[in-house]
Amino acid sequence: KNQVEQSPQSLIILEGKNCTLQCNYTVSPFSNLRWYKQDTGRGPVSLTIMTFSENTKSNGRYTATLDADTKQSSLHITASQLSDSASYICVVSVYGGSQGNLIFGKGTKLSVKP
């Protein structure tokens, strides 16, 4: 069964600190992996997209890694800001699957405190 598991479920950090969010998946065959940020009451916004051959991709203070062998990804946030408080969702696409059939994780809820 295609699944995406994220950890931790929630995380509280102080402003300025770094943090790393984890994503494990069992989706097969794999097409690509995306990280989204979802603010409360809003739709998800794409942060990064990684294909099978990519190990690392950065977007400002966000750095995503992908290990296709162990089927793990991480999202590292550097020098956190209050505006980083949101849910971070890992999404995996099935290769050859329906164009709309993404597999979503439940997300990690990050709270950045002053």
Partner 1 sequence: NAGVMQNPRHLVRRRGQEARLRCSPMKGHSHVYWYRQLPEEGLKFMVYLQKENIIDESGMPKERFSAEFPKEGPSILRIQQVVRGDSAAYFCASSEGPGQTYGYTFGSGTRLTVV
The residue (of 35 and 80) whose beta carbon lies closer to partner 1 is: 35
Count of residues engaged in binding partner 1, rule: CB under 8 A: 22
**2 and 26 in contact (C-beta within 8 Å)?**
yes
49-54-56-61 Cα dihedral, nearest 10 degrees = -20
Which three-class secondary structure state does DSSP give residue 82?
helix
CA dist., res. 114 & res. 105, Å (int): 28
Range 11-40, binding partner 1 (CB under 8 A): 31-32, 36
| Closest separation in Å from C-beta 105 to partner 1 | 5
Q: 15 or 31, CB closer to partner 1?
A: 31
- 89 contributes a contact to partner 1 by CB under 8 A: yes
Residues 6+ apart with CB under 8 A from 61: 77, 78, 79, 80, 81, 84
**Considering only residues 7, 20, 26, 46, which one is a binding residue for partner 1 as defined by CB under 8 A?**
46
Using CB under 8 A as the criterion, which residues of the chain lie in contact with partner 1 when the complex forms? Answer: 4, 31-32, 36, 41-46, 49, 89, 93, 98-102, 104-107
